[in-house]
Amino acid sequence: MDSAMEWHRARALLQWQVELGATEAVCDTPINRYEVAAAPAPTVAKPAAATGPVAVPQSPQIDPEAEARVAASGAADLEALRAAMQSFEHCELKRGARQLVFADGVAGARVMIVGEAPGRDEDLQGKPFVGRAGQLLDRMVGAIGLDRKAVQARDAVYITNVLPWRPPRNRDPERDEIAMMLPFLERHIALAQPEILIAMGNISCQALLGRRGISRLRGGWTEAFGLPLMPMFHPAYLLRTPEAKRDTWADLLEVDAKLKGRG
């Protein structure tokens, strides 16, 4: 367009082109209307440089023995203790057992027998010492005038185990399992209030005395939790080793003498 063109003429020419349908002016340099302009890259703020080690959050560590101690100490009676043991979730033995084996006999009996752990029969029936070993135990205590089914506490026995759940394949309890459940056993003894404890076998001696070696321990009085304790061979051992029954009979006579004030 002539730069010297007057304004009115230029306006008339532009108006004429609009009337012809023109919608935009043509520049000296062509413009690609289909080209999409690249969007500007978003600005990402860089994190501040760490000035020290980054703390990784960790789940709190659970102390099963401490948890057991709290649960046991809160039990005011034997039923509350049973409920506390039933709800205790930190012992893996519970997951493989059918049920809790708490106790049998008469609470308040003068003699409390502590065995090791439930076997198959005990796991099925929910009571300690109900298999062949339990039948032998009944004959043993019966020989000195005691019975788990006696009406009077003075003629009865009260029976429990170190562990309330059956270990898989009747294996021996492990040390951490014994330590974990010991607060419940200690509370059990305190609530049952026996005069005499009988520890049947190595595992119960380990729990109550911190020692093993039943052949050396049996036959002599010792003490646990402030009570006189007589270590004895486990009835299951006596079924395998009948010649040891003579020593066990001597131990039972010691218990009988203690009950009658002669020990």
pLDDT tens digits, 42-85: 666 665 555 666 665 665 688 999 999 999 999 999 999 999 99
Q: Answer for the pair 116, 200: CB distance below 8 angstroms, yes or no.
A: yes
The pLDDT, as a whole number, for residue 9 is: 74
Task: Report pLDDT digits (tens) over 74-104.
Answer: 999 999 999 999 999 999 999 999 999 999 9
The pLDDT, as a whole number, for residue 163 is: 98
Task: Report pLDDT digits (tens) over 224-238.
Answer: 999 999 999 999 999
Domains of the chain in start order, with CATH, are: 66-259 (3.40.470.10)
pLDDT-derived band of residue 6, with 50, 70 and 90 as boundaries? confident
Of 177, 154, 150, 152, give the one whose Cα is nearest residue 165: 177
Of 133, 183, 148, give the one whose Cα is nearest residue 163: 183
If you average pLDDT over residues 19-29, what whole number do you get? 67
The pLDDT mean for the chain works out to 89
Read off the amino acid at residue 102.
F
pLDDT-derived band of residue 1, with 50, 70 and 90 as boundaries? very low
Task: Report pLDDT digits (tens) over 207-263.
Answer: 999 999 999 999 999 999 999 999 999 999 999 999 999 999 999 999 999 999 975
Task: Report pLDDT digits (tens) over 153-170.
Answer: 999 999 999 999 999 999
